[in-house]
Amino acid sequence: MKKPIYMDNSATTPCDPRVAEKLCQHLTTEGVYGNPASRSHEYGWLADEAAEAGRAHVAALIGASPKEIVWTSGATESDNLALKGAAHFYKKKGNHLITVKTEHKAILDTCRQLEREGFEITYLDPQEDGRLDLAVLEAAIKPETILISVMHVNNEIGVIQDMAAIGKLTREKGILLHCDAAQSAGKIPVDVNEMNVDLLSLSAHKIYGPKGIGALYVRRKPRVRLEAQIHGGGHERGMRSGTLATHQIVGMGEAFRIAKEEMASEAERIGKLRDKLLRGLQDIEEVYVNGDMKHRIPGNLNISFNYVEGESLIMALKDVAVSSGSACTSASLEPSYVLRALGRSDELAHSSIRFTIGRFTTEEEIDYTIELVKGKIGKLRELSPLWDMYKEGIDLSSVQWAAH
């Protein structure tokens, strides 16, 4: 067993060897390295063909037409393009957008920017289990609402939103629906027509493709218009300029092709491993699963070990790569805003660990992790004054803490 064991597959994944091989064919001398926009020679044509094949694979996974796929540099750019592009185009129709407090920073920070530009944003609270209450969403809709953005699967807790129900509502009301599917595509079925989404963000590096490439699905019927956010040579039907990175597109295409083929069996295998991990960790006293377990992708387990601080636990688990929140925010000392939005106490939010199991995780690694976590939790609780107080029966919420 190779260490450290990687259980941070929601932060990023390694390229699948099949993806890496395909991608390399487009990097090297023997391969195809033309500029897909070069219309005048075979190098360009071959690159263009390869890019189009990739587009077809990406479209197929989400039930879209290849013409509805716009390449981007990643899901962050897709989210920026979807929200800013639609808001800027439809601003005469209305200036109100709705999203959820547990969205990825790429959505939340983009919304903050739109607020600075004069748009009004409603940030909805999810339920305690991480799911969005449809009635709350419906109540937030105004005549000026032009777009609703809800992520399909949350990156920290893995909870799945009922996109089909949300899509039914937005379609009835004539409001655009954007969905960040970076954490769901390739892990659970995504169908843009069943979900009635108009815009959908995708990432390659979350499902064994390369970093630096993503896509935005832009519905053609009924047609969704966007104002471009990166201007230049008019690539991607004017929606996103910049030379396409053929090898990355090919890599993303291959990753999506494999995902479509293997998703069902892989989900079952990964789900079993996750359940084994959960059973093993539930033996420990004072552990709390964050987010709904039923509506959750198979690979995610987000769990709080009460009275142990998350960062010190990560340090203790140095042979297992895990995260205490989303990778984007883990340089800050703030507890996870996602768990806070679920109504978790600061203590439990500070004590959370996200395990995300992936294609290359083995049962042996799960067994090792369970034993390691048990041992380290014991050691850290011995160090923890809060654990002592809990054992003495002191209610921590009754203590007057010296805030700092």
Partner 1 sequence: MIYLDNNATTQMDSTVVETMLPYLREKFGNPSSRHRQGRAARAAIDTAREQVASLVSAHPSQVIFTGSGTEANNLAIKGYVAGVMSGRLFIGSTEHPSVTSTADKQARFDGWSRFELPVTENGLLSDEAMEKLNMAKSGDLVSVMLANNETGVIQPISELYGQLGLKDKGVTIHTDAVQAAGKLPLNFSALGVHMLTLSAHKIHGPKGIGALIRDKSIAIEPQMDGGGHEAGLRSGTENVAAIVGFGAAAVLAHESLVRTSEKLLALRTKLENGLRMIPGIEIIADKTDRLVNTSCFTMASVEGETMLMMLDKAGIAIASGSACSSHDNTPSKILTAMGMDKSLARRALRVSLGKDNTENEIDTFLETLKMKLASFNSIASNVAI
Partner 2 sequence: MAYSEKVLDHYENPRNVGTFDKDDSSVGTGMVGAPACGDVMKLQLKVSDKGVIEDAKFKTYGCGSAIASSSLVTEWVKGKSIDEALEIKNTDIAEELALPPVKIHCSVLAEDAIKAAIEDYKGKQK
If one counts every other C-beta atom within 10 angstroms of the C-beta of residue 19, the result is 25
Total interface residues for partner 2 by CB under 8 A: 25
- CB closer to partner 1 out of 182 and 387: 182
Point out which span in 111-119, 226-234, 262-270, 302-310 binds partner 2 (CB under 8 A).
302-310
Best CA proximity match to 299, nearest among 174, 157, 200:
157
Q: How far is the CB of 243 from partner 1 (least distance, A)?
A: 6
Rounded distance between C-alpha atoms, residue 132 and residue 124, angstroms? 8
Strand blocks (E) in 73-220: 96-100, 120-124, 145-149, 176-180, 199-203, 214-218
Nearest C-alpha neighbor of 215 from the set 187, 188, 247, 248:
248
**Contacting residue, 230, 267, 284, 372, with partner 1 by CB under 8 A:** 230
Residue type, 103: E
The binder of partner 2 chosen from 104, 206, 240, 350 (CB under 8 A): 350
The whole-angstrom separation of Cα 300 and Cα 277 is 10
Quote the CA–CA distance of 34 and 42 in Å, as a whole number: 8
DSSP 187-199: TB---HHHHT-SE
Please choose, out of 139-147, 166-174, 186-194, 323-331, the segment that lies near partner 1 by the rule CB under 8 A. Answer: 323-331
- Find the part of the chain contacting partner 1 (CB under 8 A) among 14-22, 93-101, 259-267, 365-373: 14-22
The answer to whether 72 and 216 have CB atoms below 8 angstroms apart is yes
Site residues for partner 2, 366-395, by CB under 8 A, read 382-388
Sites for partner 1 among residues 19-58 (CB under 8 A): 20, 23-24, 27-29, 33-35, 37-44
Instruction: Give 320's DSSP letter.
Output: E
Q: CB 213 → partner 1: shortest distance, Å?
A: 7
Q: Establish if 328 lies at the interface with partner 1 (CB under 8 A).
A: yes
**Residues numbered 65-124 forming contacts with partner 1, rule: CB under 8 A:** 72-77, 79-80, 104-110, 112-113
Please identify which residue in 63, 66, 94, 212 interacts with partner 1, judged by CB under 8 A. Answer: 212
The residue ranges that bind partner 2 (CB under 8 A) are 307-309, 311-312, 315, 331, 333, 335, 345-347, 350, 382-388, 396, 401-404
Q: Which residues are annotated as catalytic?
A: 328
